[in-house]
Chains A and B, each alone.
Chain A
Amino acid sequence: MTFRLGDIAAALGVEALGDGDIVLRGAAEPALAGPDDLAIALSPAWAAGLAQGRARAAILWPGADWQALGLSGAIAAPRGRLAVARVTALLDDGPAIAPGIHATAVIDPLAEIGAGAAIGPLTVIGAGARVGANARIEGQVSIAPGVVIGADALICAGVRIARRVRIGDRVVLQPNVVIGGDGFSFVTATPAHVETARETLGRGPVTVPDDPTWHRIHSLGGVVIGDDVEVGAGSTIDAGTIRATQVGRGTKIDNLVQVGHNVIVGQDCLLCAQAGVAGSSRVGDRVVLGGKAGVADNLVIGDDVVVGGGSVVLSNVPAGRVMMGSPATRMDTHIESYKALRRLPRLLRDGLSRQNKVSNPSEND
């Protein structure tokens, strides 16, 4: 596939600088770029690389002097990474999934497959499942009976979609995503120690129940995933108990994220790698959970909250707050606390040395 520099500029809504007719085959970092690559140089830090590479054309930072950089043509991008989003979309021809339904796919006669859908080898689709138009489904995917998937989905190899799951349009599921596994929900016949711990903060006697059996609470609610959601490799979204676990439109989930049963994640959130949201918590719109951030169960996280990487949220968070640490506190409070902690060794040492000066004479008395 080839592109003219001018076509790429037009896709970004800007004019190409210099020769818009340069024909390009791909994108590359500046130092590694060949003559047919569009070099991606979004800040002056990449200028030296342009000299090392052989690019004739580049996407440059605003105000860059493309001629002085030895280029024949360029695109100046006011917001570089947004330009990269558009350019990479243009250059990516997507996974190679042959059109139509592969001979080895097992598709129940009662499943409905939309027009233009491509389904790879050894994929299994159950009775009553509905797959929207133009869906691209790689090999070895399992789609349970009754599952509904919208139009233009991209479902990668090894994805498992369990019963009672509804998925919107244009959803991307990376390899080995599991949606709709049963929730981790068990209950004892009488209140267990873990249930009283939050109230008692661990004080008081431990009561050992006569019957320690964990009775299974079955998951009847399934999962509802909105339009334009992406879920990264190996991430899991569990089924709700009575109603569906929900992930709102436009939310992007990274690899190895766990979303527990009954959780409601709002729209346009980012859940970074290894984040976890425990059962029944509600996460607002546009919330960002940094990598390895954890949210305990039954909490409410307001809209626009940012939780820093590795933080652990143990109580409700009002809208707009930036949280950090474990337990998570406001970021400014956390930094103050951390500052105090870092100064503690010197404080103690200084305090102890002062104490010695005072106590020595009295010992000699």
Chain B
Amino acid sequence: MDVAAKVIAIIAEQAVLDPSDVKPENTLEDLGIDSLGLVESIFAIEEAFDITVPFNANDPQASDFDISSVAAIITAVEGLVAAQS
């Protein structure tokens, strides 16, 4: 499974949606994922890819990790995975 599919699967699980209903342009808000749901999604991403996501749970907007949309999260995770290998 590629990074995008894995990230979408994780987000879909947290949003209780089918992965096919999670679109790249969706925001977490569109998907009904709130701040604590975001924290869980980030942990799931960290554990799935064995990476450390630089996010500030108290002020996610201030993080280096762009969570503005599903596509942005995929790009950020791809960056972290590439940096690690």
Give the contacting residue for A343; candidates B39, B52, B57, B58; CB below 8 A.
B52
B57 touches A342 (CB 8 A): no
How many residues of chain B have a CB within 8 Å of chain A?
A: 8
Is A214 located at the chain interface by the 8 A CB criterion?
no
B50 touches A339 (CB 8 A): no
B82 to chain A, nearest CB (A): 19
Is A215 located at the chain interface by the 8 A CB criterion?
no
Is B2 located at the chain interface by the 8 A CB criterion?
no
Give the contacting residue for B47; candidates A332, A336, A339, A346; CB below 8 A.
A346
Give the contacting residue for A335; candidates B47, B50, B52, B57; CB below 8 A.
B57
B58 CB contacts on chain A under 8 angstroms: 332, 335-336
A332 CB contacts on chain B under 8 angstroms: 57-58
* Beyond A332-B57, A346-B50, 17 extra complex contacts between A and B, CB < 8 Å: A332-B58, A335-B39, A335-B57, A335-B58, A336-B57, A336-B58, A338-B39, A339-B39, A339-B43, A339-B57, A342-B43, A342-B46, A342-B47, A343-B46, A343-B52, A346-B46, A346-B47
How many residues of chain A have a CB within 8 Å of chain B?
A: 8
Interface residue ranges, B against A (CB under 8 Å): 39, 43, 46-47, 50, 52, 57-58
A330 CA / B57 CA spacing, docked (Å): 13
What are 16 sample pairs from A and B whose C-beta atoms fall under 8 A apart?
Answer: A332-B57, A332-B58, A335-B39, A335-B57, A336-B57, A336-B58, A339-B39, A339-B57, A342-B43, A342-B46, A342-B47, A343-B46, A343-B52, A346-B46, A346-B47, A346-B50
A342 CB contacts on chain B under 8 angstroms: 43, 46-47
A186 CA / B25 CA spacing, docked (Å): 62
A339 CA / B58 CA spacing, docked (Å): 11
B5 to chain A, nearest CB (A): 22
A73 CA / B47 CA spacing, docked (Å): 51
B39 CB contacts on chain A under 8 angstroms: 335, 338-339
- Which chain A residues numbered 317 to 365 have a C-beta less than 8 Å away from chain B? 332, 335-336, 338-339, 342-343, 346
B50 CB contacts on chain A under 8 angstroms: 346
